[in-house]
Structure 1
Amino acid sequence: MRILIVGVGGIGGYFGARLLEKGADVTFLVREKRKQQLQKHGLVVRSIHGDLHVHQPKTILSGEQAETFDVILLSTKAYHLQGAIESIQPYAEENTLILPLLNGIAHMDALKAAFGEHNILGGLCFIETTLDEDGTIIQTSPIHDLVFGELSGEKTDRVRMLEDAFQGTKARITLSDQIQQDMWHKYLFISTLSGVTSLFQAPIGPIRDQEYGLETVRSLLAECGRVMRSVNAPLAGNIEEVQADKIMQMGYNMKSSLQRDMEKGLKTEADHFFKYLLDLGRANNIHTPVIAAIYTNLKIYETSLH
């Protein structure tokens, strides 16, 4: 099975390296700078699950000639999605599976419009990674999970084949029969964690310590849950309480990737995460003051970048 991974960042690079480690046929679609970095240093992973050094991973630049692929794995930031769609279209054919690992839900409509609903799988991942100055992927958390499945929940022949292709990878890759629920649950969780940590510019522990900080966490979970249910998202009945408990148990110094991006002066996925929820809420007459405050904070921050 020919696999194309868009980019060699922390997520695509990590899972791609693990697939290469077990002998999968993996190619990375990269920019010129990253190609040069890989030619100089190779694809290097430093992980508590075992280090890995792939000396000459296969790469292509956008527009280069290549055969089509069986699977294209997308792990870009949401603000790079349209560019990624344009880049991969020459490498997809009518049976190519598109497996996105982006957070949120808004990207699904764009992918369906570009490639057809039949070609799109659901997907998500749980992993903490970062790149050092040489492009080495640093992975320090026990969690390195990738979840995928048919949007219908069926375990079709094609996802069984993909499951077989992923077997033996030194990462936890799971075929789900409820991937849409999995994606909405992660969206709820990541919106809450990234929302409060970016708003207060603090790890989750100090936020929990404050009476109104914890109240804000619960209010945000409730707002997001109401908005998602208004569009019939397949949320479990008690998911807000489950996720509140999970947030209470997180490490004191845990930060969200959105907060870390702000600390580095980088662009954020504010529209993808929060404007999408605000638009759904407005369309369904749901009051969302906490989501609005988080979104406003992020847009003020982004204005300061110019």
Structure 2
Amino acid sequence: MRILVVGAGATGGYFGGRLALAGRDVTFLVRGARAETLRKEGLRLMTPEGEFSLRPQLTLAEDIKQPYDVIILTVKAFALESALLDITPAMGQDTLIMPMLNGMKHLDILTTRYGKSAVIGGMCKIAATLNSQGHVVRMSPLHELYYGELDGSTTQRIQTLDQQLSGAGFDTFLSTSIINDMWEKWLLLASLGAITCLMRGNIGQVASTVGGGQFAHGVINEVLAIITSAGYRRNEQYIAQTTALLTRTDSVQTSSMYRDLMQGYPVEAEQVLGDLVTIGHRVGLGSPLLNAAYTHLAVYQASRT
């Protein structure tokens, strides 16, 4: 399968790089400075298992001449609209789009634009970032990729994709409940982002303060109430594990949104928190803690322009 990875940041660079190293036919669709860096220096992955480097296949949107079999979208959610313009020449009649964006709104955007048959669900679990040299740094053993048909069916095309993605140096999961998986990731991301960004500290720093644990539980419960109202099927074991993870006093965990915030980068405030607040308002659920975190980040975002 010809695979086009849109974006070569921490997520796209890691999973796309691993696929390329495993011999898959991977091309990265990149822009500007990132394209220049990769042309000059290649792509380097720094992981707990060691360092890997490669000379990736790169393309610009205007240079795409034929469709790809799979398009893996790894851009930030606020860059989705511009990315859709870029992938237009890569779309064929049977092209699959696998987004790995945060939140859920992108599914509506993609299915409206390309039709439900063109889109599958996707998500990843990884703690990774780009360092000052533009190298992909994976910061923990976790590197999981989940994907599946939106209706949960096991089709021939999803099995073929599973074969292509498996055995490439990271953990893969062909899911028959990808939508619920995505709700659960949103629960983790939104809670982690709200806790660390609003309090400007890691999970352990927040949990160790007077009232910190109560605050974290309040955030988690607000997110849970909202996503349950929107269709999440509660998994009590996962909820308990997530709550324990986000209230550990010895944890140094932060969110990627917090790291972006502290470095002065754009943040996915609207997609990670704002959309949840909107859903809550729509069904009459109050979410004062999420509102506070979202307002905090919206002010930050506005101050950057």
TM superposition shift of 1:304: 2.3
Q: Give distance in 1, aligned partners of 2:147 and 2:234.
A: 17
Q: Give distance in 2, aligned partners of 1:148 and 1:278.
A: 26
Structure 1 segments, 4+ long, off by >6 Å, are: none
Alignment check: 8 A CA contact 2:204 2:248 kept:
no
Q: Which structure 1 segments of 5+ residues have no match?
A: none
Q: Give distance in 2, aligned partners of 1:152 and 1:258.
A: 30
Alignment check: 8 A CA contact 2:126 2:142 kept:
yes
Which secondary structure does the structure 2 equivalent of 1:34 belong to? helix
Report the equivalent of 2:283.
Answer: 284
Q: Give distance in 2, aligned partners of 1:295 and 1:32.
A: 30
1:34-113 aligned within 5 A: 34-55=34-55, 57-113=56-112
RMSD: 1.5
The 10-residue stretch of structure 1 (170-179 or 45-54) with the greater mean CA deviation from structure 2: 45-54
Q: How many percent identity over aligned positions?
A: 33
| 2:144 maps to 1:122 | no
TM superposition shift of 1:274: 1.5
Q: Give distance in 2, aligned partners of 1:110 and 1:178.
A: 20
TM superposition shift of 1:135: 2.0
Instruction: Give CA-to-partner distance per residue, 1:20-72, whole Å, 9 cap, x none.
Output: 111100011011322221221111112123322113x2111122232100100
Report the equivalent of 2:193.
Answer: 194
Q: Give distance in 2, aligned partners of 1:35 and 1:302.
A: 26
TM superposition shift of 1:148: 0.7
Report the equivalent of 2:211.
Answer: 212
Q: Give distance in 2, aligned partners of 1:287 and 1:238.
A: 25
Q: Give distance in 2, aligned partners of 1:45 and 1:239.
A: 30
Report the equivalent of 1:182.
Answer: 181
Report the equivalent of 2:15.
Answer: 15
Which secondary structure does the structure 1 equivalent of 2:101 belong to? coil
TM-score normalised by the chain length of structure 2:
0.95
Report the equivalent of 1:30.
Answer: 30
Instruction: Give CA-to-partner distance per residue, 1:169-189, whole Å, 9 cap, x none.
Output: 011121111111110001011
| 2:166 maps to 1:167 | yes
Report the equivalent of 2:141.
Answer: 142
| Equivalent residue letter for 2:186 | Y
Which secondary structure does the structure 2 equivalent of 1:248 belong to? coil
The 10-residue stretch of structure 1 (132-141 or 107-116) with the greater mean CA deviation from structure 2: 132-141
Alignment check: 8 A CA contact 2:131 2:137 kept:
yes
Q: Give distance in 1, aligned partners of 2:237 and 2:146.
A: 22
Instruction: Give CA-to-partner distance per residue, 1:83-140, whole Å, 9 cap, x none.
Output: 1111111101121111111111111111111211111111111112222333221223
Instruction: Give CA-to-partner distance per residue, 1:214-242, whole Å, 9 cap, x none.
Output: 11111111111111122222332565433
TM-score normalised by the chain length of structure 1:
0.95
